[in-house]
Amino acid sequence: MVEIQNITMTKFPTIGEYNQLIIQKGGAAFDSLFGIEFIASKSYPIKIFVFGSGAFAAVFKGGLNGNYYAIRCFLSIEDETIERYRIICNYLKNIHSSWITNCELIEDEISFKGKWLPILKMDWVDGLLIDKFVKNNINNNDLLSQIQQKLVAISQDLEHHNIGHGDLQCGNIIISGPPDDFDVKLIDYDGMYVDGLPYNKSLEQGRSEFQHPRRTSSDYNSKMDRFSVWVIVTALEALKYDKSLWNEVMHRERGFNTLDNFLFTNQDFLNPNESRLFRRIQERNEPSLNFYLEKLKYFCSNDISKVSAPKLFEISNATEYSDELNSNSEEFRSNNYEIPNGKIRIISNVGSVPILSTSFQRIGFTPIDLDKSIYSGKTIVVSYANEAKQIELTGMQNLIEVNF
C-alpha cells in the first residue's frame, strides 16, 4: 500500500501520458482491474481514449466481466482529497437511491514509471447529458415537467441523506433510459459533501452558471445544491412557453444557450433586475413562471442561506409565496436587503409585476431599484391582472410596497 504522504509527493501523469500508457499496455497496467479492455473515444486520425477531464482527473471507459466503468485517473491529488474520496464512496455504499452512480476508490491500482497510483472506479452511465436530452425533446412539455419532478425529488433525497453534490450542471446530470421511462443520474463527486466528512470547505465551487452568486468554499453542506435545482427547474418552465430561448447565443434568432448553461449565466444572478433573460421571461406573465422567477430573484439578492428547498409550482404555492412576500416585507427593510443610497425600491405583494411610465413605456418589473435622480417627482404605473395603480415618487421615499 502506497502511503498517502508518498502520493502527495508523486508527480502524476498528464492526460497524454495516461493515453499513451493505455495504448501501450491497456489492462496490463492495472492491478485489481488487470485485463480491463479500454474503449477509444476517437480512432481517427489517432487513437484517443480519454472521454473527458476535470480539475483532478481524466476519465477513461473500460469493460471488464461484462460491465463497463468510468476509470478516473488522477492528474493531481493530495492526502486530504484521497481521504474525501474514500469517505464519500464508503458513505454512498449504504444508500440505495436511483441517482447514485456506484464508486470505489482503489489505491495502488495503475502502474506508471515504477509507481502504483490510485484511481476512482465508477459505473459507466449510458445516456444523454441533460442539455442534450432537453434539446432532443424540447417540444414535449410533459417530458420537461417529468425532469422537473425528478430533479426536485433528487434534491429532497440528497438532503434526506445529508448529501450535497456541489456541482450540479449539464456535464454532471445524465438522463438514462428511454424518454418514456428514464432515470436521472448524477456523476462526478469531486466536490461532494456527505455526513461525517471532517472538512468544512469544498474543493470546488461549481460552474457559475448554476451557482448562487455569493457561494464560497465555506458553503459546503447538504443544502448547497438548492440554488442549482431552482435554476434548472426555472429554465425548464420557461422552455414550456418559449422554445426559442434554447437557441444558441450566436444563432441568428438570438437565444440564451451558451452550450455550457441552462439559459442563465452568472451575470443574470448578479443583477437580475437588469437581466435581458429575466425580462424576456417575465414578459410572458405566466403564474408558474412568475413563481419560479420571483424565487430566483429573491435568492440572488440575498445570502445563500435564504435559498429554500426546491418545490414545484402549484396554485397553492403561488398563494403561499404571496404570503411569504408579505411576511418578508420587514426583511426588505433590513440590512440583509439594504437599499442602495439614491434608490427607491418598488416591491409587490403578488411577486413580479410590470412597472410602466405614464406613457406606458416599460421600466421594468418588481422588485426593482429606481434611481431617485431620474424618477423623483415622476409618476409610475404598476399593473397586475386588470388593475393598475399610479404611484407618485418623491425623493423622501426609500421603499414602496404596492399591494393588490
Pairing type for strands 50-53 and 128-129 reads unpaired
Backbone angles phi, psi at 211, to 5 degrees: -115, 150
Q: Of 104, 123, 142, which marks where a domain is finished?
A: 123
- CATH number for the domain spanning 372: value is 2.60.40
This model's pTM is above 0.85: no
Please check whether residue 348 lies inside any domain of the structure. Answer: yes
- CATH number for the domain spanning 95: value is 3.30.200.20
324: confidence class by pLDDT, cuts 50, 70, 90 = low
Tell whether 137 and 272 lie within a shared domain.
yes
Please check whether residue 331 lies inside any domain of the structure. Answer: no
- Are the C-beta atoms of 130 and 174 separated by less than 8 Å? yes
In whole angstroms, what is the distance from residue 88 CA to residue 146 CA?
A: 29
What's the distance, CA 340 to chain centroid? 29
Tell whether 119 and 143 lie within a shared domain.
no
Give the pLDDT confidence score for residue 53 in this predicted structure.
87
Q: Of 285, 320, 355, which marks where a domain is finished?
A: 320
Find the range with the poorest average confidence among 3-7, 44-48, 135-139. 3-7
In whole angstroms, what is the distance from residue 139 CA to residue 266 CA?
A: 27
Tell whether 162 and 299 lie within a shared domain.
yes
SS3 breakdown of the chain: % helix, strand, coil, rounded to 5? 35, 25, 40
- Are the C-beta atoms of 168 and 232 separated by less than 8 Å? yes
Q: How far is CA 200 from CA 16, 79, 82, 242, in A?
A: 34, 16, 16, 41
Please check whether residue 391 lies inside any domain of the structure. Answer: yes
Q: Of 86, 105, 123, which marks where a domain is finished?
A: 123
Mean pLDDT rounded to a whole number for the chain: 89
Q: What is the pLDDT of residues 350-380, one digit of tens each?
A: 777 788 888 777 788 788 889 888 888 889 9
Tell whether 115 and 198 lie within a shared domain.
no
79: confidence class by pLDDT, cuts 50, 70, 90 = confident
Please check whether residue 328 lies inside any domain of the structure. Answer: no
Domain that holds residue 235: 128-320
Please check whether residue 235 lies inside any domain of the structure. Answer: yes
Tell whether 134 and 209 lie within a shared domain.
yes
- Are the C-beta atoms of 191 and 206 separated by less than 8 Å? yes
Q: What is the pLDDT of residues 146-175, one digit of tens each?
A: 999 999 999 999 999 999 999 999 999 999
Tell whether 119 and 132 lie within a shared domain.
no
Give the pLDDT confidence score for residue 398 in this predicted structure.
87
The C-alpha cell 472538512 sits at 199
In whole angstroms, what is the distance from residue 105 CA to residue 89 CA?
A: 7
Give the pLDDT confidence score for residue 2 in this predicted structure.
38
- CATH number for the domain spanning 241: value is 1.10.510
Tell whether 293 and 249 lie within a shared domain.
yes
Tell whether 101 and 133 lie within a shared domain.
no
Q: Helix or strand or coil: residue 365?
A: strand
Tell whether 182 and 225 lie within a shared domain.
yes
Please check whether residue 292 lies inside any domain of the structure. Answer: yes
pLDDT at 402 over 70: yes
Q: What is the mean pLDDT of residues 74-90?
A: 92
9: confidence class by pLDDT, cuts 50, 70, 90 = very low
Tell whether 295 and 184 lie within a shared domain.
yes
Tell whether 119 and 134 lie within a shared domain.
no
Pairing type for strands 343-348 and 399-402 reads parallel
pLDDT at 253 over 90: no
Backbone angles phi, psi at 20, to 5 degrees: -65, -35
CA count, 13 A, side-chain hemisphere, 147: 32
Please check whether residue 326 lies inside any domain of the structure. Answer: no
Tell whether 168 and 310 lie within a shared domain.
yes
In whole angstroms, what is the distance from residue 328 CA to residue 355 CA?
A: 21
Number of domains in the chain: 3
Please check whether residue 329 lies inside any domain of the structure. Answer: no
Give the pLDDT confidence score for residue 385 in this predicted structure.
64
